[in-house]
């Protein structure tokens, strides 16, 4: 592979990483109640931003409204990554390009330490 082609792939990779870094909570108004730390909010926003950009064609997140869901609001599924672990379920309504998109974000403590999360696109009534 030529040096020019390698350089081109490197530049594309850097641009892709830069676009991922551009999605930060400092650029998005985040309101409501969450159990997540600022770092965890940032981490959970990344797959949401990627979905909105790639699937919906919108490159702008405007607002996230978070709500901690009651324990009985979500039917637990043992096959989900959190299994039956003690988990916090939250509804995040993400506004991008003027449209609201509801997600369920799940946080749970990993057995080896730290916090894990899972993001799921949900219907507006969930």
The single-letter DSSP state of residue 42 is H
Tokens for 116? Answer: 């894990």
The single-letter DSSP state of residue 1 is -
| Predicted confidence (pLDDT) per residue in 9-66, tens digit | 344 443 344 444 445 445 789 999 999 999 999 999 999 999 999 999 998 899 999 9
Lowest mean pLDDT among 6-10, 30-34, 78-82, 109-113: 6-10
Per-residue confidence (pLDDT) for residue 1, from 0 to 100: 46
Closest CA to 29 of 68, 59, 70, 60: 60
Q: Does 85 or 89 have the greater pLDDT score?
A: 89
pLDDT, the chain, mean: 79
pLDDT over 70, % of the chain: 76
Domain ranges (residues) in the chain: 24-121
Pinpoint the alpha helices (H) of the chain.
Answer: 3-21, 38-56
pTM: 0.74
Give CA–CA dist 115/54, Å, rounded.
Answer: 26
């Amino acid at each position: 592979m030529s040096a020019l082609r390698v350089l081109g792939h490197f530049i594309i990779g850097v641009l892709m990483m830069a676009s991922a870094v551009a999605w930060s909570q400092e650029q998005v108004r985040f309101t409501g109640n969450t159990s997540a730390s600022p770092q965890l909010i940032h981490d959970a926003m990344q797959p949401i931003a990627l979905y909105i950009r790639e699937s919906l064609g919108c490159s702008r997140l405007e607002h996230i409204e978070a709500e901690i869901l009651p324990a009985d609001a979500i039917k637990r599924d043992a096959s989900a990554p959190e299994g039956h672990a003690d988990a916090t379920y939250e509804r995040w309504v993400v506004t991008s390009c003027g449209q609201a998109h509801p997600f369920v974000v799940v946080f749970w403590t990993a057995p080896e330490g730290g916090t894990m999360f899972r993001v799921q696109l949900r219907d507006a009534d969930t």
